[in-house]
Structure 1
Amino acid sequence: MNTLINWFELPVQQLDRAVDFYQHVLGGEFRHETIGQIEMAVFPHTKPATGGALVKGPMFKSATGGAIVYLSTANLDVALKRVRDKGGECVFGPEVLPHNIGTIALMIDSEGNQVGLHQPA
């Protein structure tokens, strides 16, 4: 096992709106898939990096409590401006972490999920 986390999913209510939000904040193109009743937009990534997707389906509910996924960004200030441009909200940070880890912030996305952003040092 190279990494403990190998996939993540962020629940959405409106897939097109969520894709527009994340493409604006982070850049990149999403790959669309449907598996059973689940509509997905897969975050751009290359293996062996951890992958993930925006998911819409009857069992998925957006949330601000629970586990937090941190998405990498090269420029946290620019990403947070883009979050606000698309109606999202910064709820914590930016906060510089000790030990040269980088800078983080927490946002509420277009779907009501609390998601972290991390700019490596």
Structure 2
Amino acid sequence: MDTIINWFEIPVQDLERAAAFYEAVFATKLHRETMPGMEMAIFPHTKPNPGGALLKSDAFKPSAQGSVVYLHASDLSAMLERVASSGGECVFGPQELPDDIGTFALIIDSEGNRVGLHQPV
């Protein structure tokens, strides 16, 4: 096993608003999928690497409490600037981690989820 992470889902109330937020922050395009009882916007990834999606479903609700997903940040400073201009807020960081682990920040996304951004060294 190369990684413990296989897939992640970030709950959203408004899929288009959330997708626009993450597309702006990450300067990328998310792929839309619809399945019974749910709509998804999938982050770009290549198999066998882990992937994830924004998920709109009555069974999931956005929250600033609970688990935190840390997403890879290629340029954390630029991404944090785009967070605020895209309807989110930075609640912590950027903060350098010890032992050359990198830099991270916590944001609240457009849906109210607490999400981590991590820029490795």
| TM-score with structure 2 setting the length | 0.97
Which residue in 2 is equivalent to 1:69?
69
Distance in 2 of aligned mates of 1:93 and 1:50? 25
Count residues in correspondence: 121
* Structure 2 unpaired stretches of 5+: none
Runs of 4+ in structure 1 displaced over 2 angstroms? none
Which segments of 5 or more consecutive residues in structure 1 lack a partner in the other structure? none
Residue 41 of structure 1 corresponds to 41
Identity of paired residues, percent? 57
Q: RMSD of aligned C-alpha atoms?
A: 0.8
Partner of 2:30: 30
Letter in 1 for 2:13: Q
Letter matched to residue 64 of structure 2? T
Could you tell me which residue of structure 1 aligns to residue 103 of structure 2?
103
After TM superposition, give the deviation of residue 120 of structure 1 in Å.
1.0
Q: Where does 1:85-104 land on structure 2 (aligned, <5 Å)?
A: 85-104=85-104
SS at match of 1:20: helix
Q: Is 1:53–2:65 an aligned residue pair?
A: no
Three-state SS of the structure 2 residue aligned to 1:59 is coil
Q: Secondary structure at the match of 1:80?
A: helix
Q: Which amino acid aligns with 2:9?
A: E
Structure 1 length as normaliser, TM-score?
0.97
- Separation in 1 of the partners of 2:103 and 2:2? 24
Distance 2:27 2:48 in 1: 20
